[in-house]
Amino acid sequence: MFERFLSSFPADGRGALEPYWEAKLEGVAGYRELARMGSGRSFGSGIMRVHSSEEALRARGLVLHVFPGYVDIVPIAKDWLGRQFALDFAGVDPQSPRLLLFEPGSAEVFDVECGIEQLFDMEIVDDPVTFLASDLFSEWLDGGYSVPQGWQCVGFKVPLFLGGAGSLENLEVGDEEVYWSIMGQLKSGSA
């Protein structure tokens, strides 16, 4: 499982941290394998990170700050832009939760419409531009900018929902919690 993903986005460094776990994750296809493979690890030179237990709890708080209606989520991973992939257990079969992508820069939530294994081994590998903004990530690295650490993300100086451009000039690396907090405040003020 996840062979195609690992072939396209090799793990950065060694070792994994404590995975997030709660009873409702028991029946979710692919979650246990994903957590075992990469809890707390980044992949593809920092383009994506699978959450450890501590990171999943922190990410849940970030998402709830900007998207307060999503109270029954479990974040599983994030990309370099701080976008959170999460399982949503609200009103669905607990063995088949919806997989969502929370995007702070656009203040939008996207339904991924597949399971964990398909997301990692097919969708991300076959369409990394859509799922990881890999084109912009390549520009970022080529420009000599640093890869964000686990507690950081690369965010938009002017959010997309306020007319900011999805370009290198509108990006900066910073503390992920600060970025999500600012996006939440701006989203509330623009509504």
User: What pLDDT digit, counting tens, does each position of 124-181 carry?
Assistant: 999 999 999 999 999 999 999 999 998 999 999 999 999 999 999 999 999 999 999 9
Rounded (5°) CA angle 86-88-90: 165
pTM over 0.85: yes
pLDDT on residue 190: 64
What is the pLDDT, as a whole number, of residue 91? 79
Q: Are 48 and 77 in contact (CB under 8 A)?
A: yes
How far, in whole angstroms, is CA 108 from its chain's centroid?
13
Residue with tokens 């989520």: 73
Mean pLDDT of all residues in 69-89: 97
Bin 15: left if φ > 0, else alpha if -120 < ψ < 50, else beta.
left
In this structure, what token pair is assigned to residue 16?
């994994």
